[in-house]
Amino acid sequence: MDDDGLRRTALDQHGLVTNRQVFDAGGTDAVIAHRVRRGQWHRIRRGVLVVGAAPSTWDQQVMAACLAGGAGHLAADRTAARLWTVVSRSGRIQLLTEGTSPTTVRGVTTRRTRSLPAVDRTVVRGIPVTSLARTLVDASIGQEPAVVVTWVDDATRRLGLNLVDLRSCIARLAAPGRRRPTALVTALAQLDPSFTPGQSALEDRALHALRRAGLPAPVLQHPVRRPNGRMAYIDIAYPEVGLAIELDGWEHHGTRAAFDQDRARANDLTVLGWRVLRFTWTMSDRDLVRTVSAALAPYLR
């Protein structure tokens, strides 16, 4: 058996090796059992062994959980935030994996995601972990915006967080049915008023909110001819009742010229008899649903 190779592997894994790595080095179940009996190795998790007298640390516990989960499992959520030193306490170890059903690891919370591209994966202190941006997106769920503001500010100054990467991550993960990082979006809006996660993501979120509330399906990009003869396309419309919902994303409305054009367009729609409602990313789904429901109420009776 390649003991030197196993020791090198253990050094890279906080003193740990897996049964599979022992087998790949030429070992057997009998070898593992023998060394465990002699106290040379000991089991830390099912299929994971501590080699020699490696000290027990929190990092080792997280690494052991990742190894027990198997390929594709990585530290995530608040566990990842602690690895990145964004928080000092983390509670129960949390893992993330993509696609298939996660492996059950005793005492560990394992979550499955449909989206875990390479850009969202990295290694910190030898432990597979979500990227800094993905960590902030996931760990911010359920937090207060005031807390998340301090995380983002600290990560930007001390860890070199790129806000462009963070915005891209939010937009990439915006999908119907996925937990929405409302606190993080609010925090970014406070730190940078120009922030929005993107028009398509905003549209998806608005449509999902309307559908979840049981409201009638609207028409997307409804064409209307303006008094000057030009065409306008309403983001979300209920043409039969003359209701227009405009989604104000910074990338389309963030300059003075665009701001003025937008108001002129809204005025034209009003002259044509449309009622115009405006929705931005920092407004809540509840506000959108409440306002649209009130506007549609006379026609839904």
Q: Round to whole Å and give the CA distance between 208 and 176.
A: 6
Q: 94 with 185, same domain?
A: yes
- Domain end marker among 191, 211, 229: 191
Would you state the pLDDT for residue 253?
A: 44
The domain of 85 spans 70-191
pTM to 2 decimals? 0.65
Q: 153 with 82, same domain?
A: yes
Helices 182-191 and 163-173 sit at what angle, rounded to 10 degrees? 150
| Segments of the chain with pLDDT less than 50 | 196-198, 250-256
Please name the residues in contact with 2: beta carbons below 8 A apart, sequence gap of 6 or more.
Answer: 25, 26
Strand order in the sheet with 48-51: 16-18, 48-51, 41-45
Question: For residue 240, what is the DSSP state?
Answer: G
Which of these, 264, 267, 274, lies nearest to 243 by C-alpha position?
274
Residue 135's Cβ-side half-sphere holds a number of Cα atoms within 13 Å equal to 30
Q: 187 with 109, same domain?
A: yes
Q: 50 with 85, same domain?
A: no
Helix (H, G, I), strand (E, B) or coil at 23: helix
Please name the residues in contact with 245: beta carbons below 8 A apart, sequence gap of 6 or more.
Answer: 206, 218, 234, 235, 236, 237, 277, 278, 279, 288, 292
Q: Per the structure block, which two tokens stand in for 253?
A: 């409305």
CA angle, residues 160, 161, 165, in degrees to nearest 5: 135
User: Is 102:73 a contact under the CB 8 Å cutoff?
Assistant: yes
Q: How many domains does the chain have?
A: 3
Q: Per the structure block, which two tokens stand in for 217?
A: 């399906």
Q: 179 with 113, same domain?
A: yes
Q: Round to whole Å and give the CA distance between 163 and 160.
A: 9
Would you state the pLDDT for residue 26?
A: 96
Would you state the pLDDT for residue 65?
A: 97
Would you state the pLDDT for residue 299?
A: 84
Please name the residues in contact with 195: beta carbons below 8 A apart, sequence gap of 6 or more.
Answer: 163, 167, 185, 188, 189, 250
Q: 121 with 143, same domain?
A: yes
CATH of the domain at 281: 3.40.960.10
- Domain end marker among 163, 191, 219: 191
255 in any annotated domain: yes
- Domain end marker among 170, 191, 212: 191
